């Protein structure tokens, strides 16, 4: 039996869809019938192909596009390319993000700050501005931005080396700015049929790039680690539902909604909001 086709006829554009949370969200949207435009940087063509194959394996439809989101010109045609291939973009998931350099806030160089804010803040806003006219004309749209717990300074005593926490301050600042934009846009679009939300893992989602930190943290804080399936479940809830103007924590959202946790096929129940991941040794 297939997952409920609640997004049949919809087109989604998911950035950073070559792996991790982005791939998981793309698969989950496809499982519910959305055609998905997958994008990442030109470094990730192979990962995007793998995402496309996985979507087709679920019986879905996908197309892939590469663009370096740090480059305003390269990203300026992404929505148009997706629309030419699949049709009007109804759902935009701004998942891609980067940490171009690790340095404490006192030392982060200008070039790294500029790249970080281009990828994590300006690119999502540009893609939103590209997709919005069509969404407005059709009176329906869903925009989901990915945020992070790092928008806030972790309480003392810091978990792990303080050095590591300080390295993430500028990344957190870019996500805090995106959250503020999310709330402002949701308010501007109130009543338009276009819903705008932000989603963050409770602490760490076990994407490939977060695997090491997830494994290291698990021993002391098993409840801090969640699966990418949990993020995809929460993303699906925000997109299929009627929320707008939420900065939602994945686990809290699932718990509030009493929503079971499904595999990326959108059908197989694998747990709930309290599910912990397991690591082999």
Please report whether residue 172 would count as binding ligand NAP according to CB under 6 A.
Answer: no
Please report whether residue 239 would count as binding ligand NAP according to CB under 6 A.
Answer: no
Chosen residue from 12, 69, 173, 261 binding ligand NAP by CB under 6 A:
69
Ordered DSSP codes for 82-150: HHHHH----EEEE----------TTT--HHHHHHHHIIIIIHHHHHHHHHHHHHHHHT-EEEEEE--GG
- Residues of this chain, 100-119, that bind ligand NAP according to CB under 6 A: 119
Please report whether residue 127 would count as binding ligand NAP according to CB under 6 A.
Answer: no
Please report whether residue 151 would count as binding ligand NAP according to CB under 6 A.
Answer: no
Chosen residue from 7, 21, 37, 63 binding ligand NAP by CB under 6 A:
21
Is the Cβ of residue 33 or residue 263 nearer to ligand NAP in the bound state?
Answer: 263
Q: Please tell me the number of Cα atoms within 13 Å of 69 on its side-chain side.
A: 29
Is the Cβ of residue 189 or residue 210 nearer to ligand NAP in the bound state?
Answer: 210
Chosen residue from 55, 62, 78, 205 binding ligand NAP by CB under 6 A:
205
H or E element: which one contains 35?
strand 35-40
- Residues of this chain, 251-280, that bind ligand NAP according to CB under 6 A: none
Cβ(239)–Cβ(26) under 8 Å?
no
Please report whether residue 129 would count as binding ligand NAP according to CB under 6 A.
Answer: no
- Residue 109 per-residue DSSP state: -
Please report whether residue 244 would count as binding ligand NAP according to CB under 6 A.
Answer: no
Please report whether residue 208 would count as binding ligand NAP according to CB under 6 A.
Answer: yes
> Which SS3 state, helix, strand or coil, does residue 65 take?
strand
Return the axis-axis angle of helices 123-138 and 78-86, rounded to nearest 10°.
40
Nearest distance from C-beta of residue 192 to ligand NAP, angstroms: 25
* Token pair belonging to 266: 């959108």
Residue 73 phi, psi (nearest 5): -70, -45
Lookup result for tokens 């991790």:
20
Name the residues that contact ligand NAP, by CB under 6 A: 16, 18-22, 40-41, 43-44, 68-70, 95-98, 119, 146, 148, 200-201, 204-205, 207-210
């Amino acid at each position: 039996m297939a997952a409920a086709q609640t997004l049949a006829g919809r087109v989604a554009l998911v950035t950073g869809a070559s792996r991790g949370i982005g791939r998981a969200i793309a698969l989950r949207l496809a499982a519910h019938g959305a055609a998905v435009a997958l994008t990442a940087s030109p470094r990730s063509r192979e990962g995007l192909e793998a995402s496309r194959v996985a979507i087709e394996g679920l019986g879905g439809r996908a197309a892939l596009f590469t663009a370096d989101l740090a480059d305003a010109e390269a990203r300026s045609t992404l929505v148009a390319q997706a629309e030419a291939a699949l049709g009007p973009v109804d759902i935009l998931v701004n998942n891609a993000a980067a940490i171009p350099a690790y340095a404490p806030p006192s030392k982060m160089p200008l070039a790294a700050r500029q790249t970080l804010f281009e990828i994590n803040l300006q690119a999502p806003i540009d893609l939103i501005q590209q997709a919005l006219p069509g969404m407005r004309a059709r009176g329906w749209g869903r925009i989901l931005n990915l945020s992070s717990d790092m928008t806030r300074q972790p309480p003392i005593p810091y978990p792990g080396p303080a050095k590591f926490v300080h390295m993430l301050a500028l990344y957190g600042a870019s996500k805090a700015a995106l959250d503020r934009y999310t709330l402002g846009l949701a308010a501007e679009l109130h009543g338009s049929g276009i819903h705008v939300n932000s989603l963050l893992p409770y602490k760490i989602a076990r994407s490939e790039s977060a695997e090491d930190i997830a494994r290291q943290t698990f021993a002391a804080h098993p409840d801090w680690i969640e699966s990418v399936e949990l993020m995809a479940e929460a993303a699906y809830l925000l997109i299929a539902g009627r929320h707008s103007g939420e900065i939602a924590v994945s686990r809290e959202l699932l718990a509030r909604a009493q929503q079971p946790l499904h595999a990326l096929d959108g059908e197989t129940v694998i747990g709930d909001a309290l599910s912990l991941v397991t690591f082999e040794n």
